[in-house]
Amino acid sequence: MALFSIQRVPGKGNGVIAASKITKGTRIHAESPFITLPKLDEAPNAKALNDAVLKQLRSASRGDQRAFFSLGNIHGKTLPIPLGIVQTNALAYGPGGEGGVFLMGSQFNHDCLPSARTKWNDHLHKMTVYALRDIEPGEEITITYINLETCDVRQKTLQDGFQFTCSCKACTLPEDICKEMDADIMEIKTIEGFLKSTTEPLEVCLRFAYRQRYLIESNALDFAHAPDTYELASTLAAIHKDYIRAKIFSERHLDIVTTEGGLDHPDTRKQRDMDDYLGSLLEQHHGPSVPYHFSVLGLEDWLWMQHLPEVKDLEEESSEDVESSDEAREVWSEDEDGDMPAFDVETLD
């Protein structure tokens, strides 16, 4: 039974609708590019590009040609029609920046909090679509066209690139909540920059990483091209020769790449090898002593190095910088004394 069908979606033209319940991690679709385009830096002029598209179209079946011409075209008469369709629907794929049009893949609509992820699988030489969470029958299956950005930037990028206004859940939040979410997104990005360049001790890095993970989870941004905190946390722990934590973060990162790209994706294989390697380092240096006797919360506190004296000093120094009006932040971050830890990157510079 087909997992989905193409149907009219109010205000969006066509969309991809789940025909039955699709569970997280299911490969919904895999497809080779129908039209392939030169790499961006080798792009010829518009006429040559249109001719290249026409040449590929001529060798396609009637059915595929019809499917191609039924795709959206936001360029109207400003471009030759085949080129307009290509410019509207092309997706980047491959490590060299190649682009292509996917007859089915191009039908997935955008949502800033999507339910699925497109990922190029160089091993299969196909674009795959995986369910990032369980999807109910009748629900539209969506992907994101853009990176994690604040609301204004998302709307401008979508308007400039695709000529539509997004009315997803994240883009239609009440203004005050939207502002809070934007502030959280900025903080997620700031922490990302900090973690990628820091030489601070591991406990400081992990407390920022914990904050980033919290911001991503509490805003449900997991699927919005948010940074994968676990990947960076694993790398940082490994650099500091903390192989126990590196291995646990690596297992969580492996879960994510498997969900997004499947077991046969080169990224998944690479991460599985890395995970095995960390496992062997762990046995060599520490023995298999991951503290599974902890309660779930105890394990998380230990894993992210919460409540450690070295970090507490830092908290006390700059706890005044943190807004105390933000209830959610208070709930997650209060320590036993009710003090707010500081997560201000500036204080570390």
Return the structure tokens found at 172.
Answer: 């239609």
Q: Which stretch binds Zn ion (CB under 5 A): 4-12, 86-94, 160-168, 188-196?
A: 160-168
Q: Taking the complex as a whole, how short is the minimal distance between the CB of residue 118 and Zn ion, in angstroms?
A: 17
Cα separation of 231 and 235, whole Å? 6
314 lies in the binding site for Zn ion (CB under 5 A): no
Q: Work out how close the CB of 221 gets to Zn ion at its nearest, in angstroms, rounded to a whole number.
A: 12
Using the rule CB under 5 A, is 274 a contact of Zn ion?
no
Q: What span, in angstroms and rounded, lies between the C-alpha atoms of 106 and 123?
A: 21
On the 0-12 / 13-18 / 19+ scale of CB atoms within 10 A, 56 is middle
Residues 110-140 as b/e (b if ≥16 CB within 10 A, e otherwise) read bbbbbbbbbbbbeeeebbbbbbbbebeeeeb
Candidates 88, 113, 344; CA nearest to 219 is 113
The candidate with the shortest Cα–Cα distance to 208, out of 342, 320, 7, 328, is 342
Size of the site for Zn ion (CB under 5 A): 5
- Regarding 166 and contact with Zn ion (CB under 5 A), the answer is yes
Q: Which of 171, 178, 220, 348 binds Zn ion (CB under 5 A)?
A: 171
Minimum Å gap between C-beta 61 and Zn ion is 36
Residue 173 as a binder of Zn ion (CB under 5 A): the answer is no
- Binding segment (CB under 5 A) for Zn ion, from list 69-77, 171-179, 189-197, 293-301: 171-179
Q: How far is the CB of 224 from Zn ion (least distance, A)?
A: 9
Is residue 183 involved in binding Zn ion (CB under 5 A)? no
- Select from 39-47, 170-178, 237-245, 304-312 the region that touches Zn ion (CB under 5 A): 170-178
112 is a contact residue toward Zn ion (CB under 5 A): yes
Q: Which stretch binds Zn ion (CB under 5 A): 104-112, 180-188, 302-310, 319-327?
A: 104-112
Least separation in angstroms between CB 114 and Zn ion:
9
Residues 45-84 that bind Zn ion (CB under 5 A): none
The DSSP H or E segment spanning 278 is helix 266-285
CA 249 – CA 235 distance, rounded (Å) = 9
Strand runs labelled E in 192-323: none
> Taking the complex as a whole, how short is the minimal distance between the CB of residue 143 and Zn ion, in angstroms?
12
DSSP per residue over 306-347, as a string? TT-HHHHHHHHHHGGGS-S--HHHHHHH--TT-PPPP--GGG
Q: How far apart are CA 126 and CA 120, in angstroms?
A: 6
Residue corresponding to tokens 């490969």: 27
Is residue 168 part of the contact set for Zn ion (CB under 5 A)? yes
Q: Which is nearer to Zn ion, 19 or 168 (CB)?
A: 168
Which residues in this chain contact Zn ion in the complex, by CB under 5 A? 112, 166, 168, 170-171
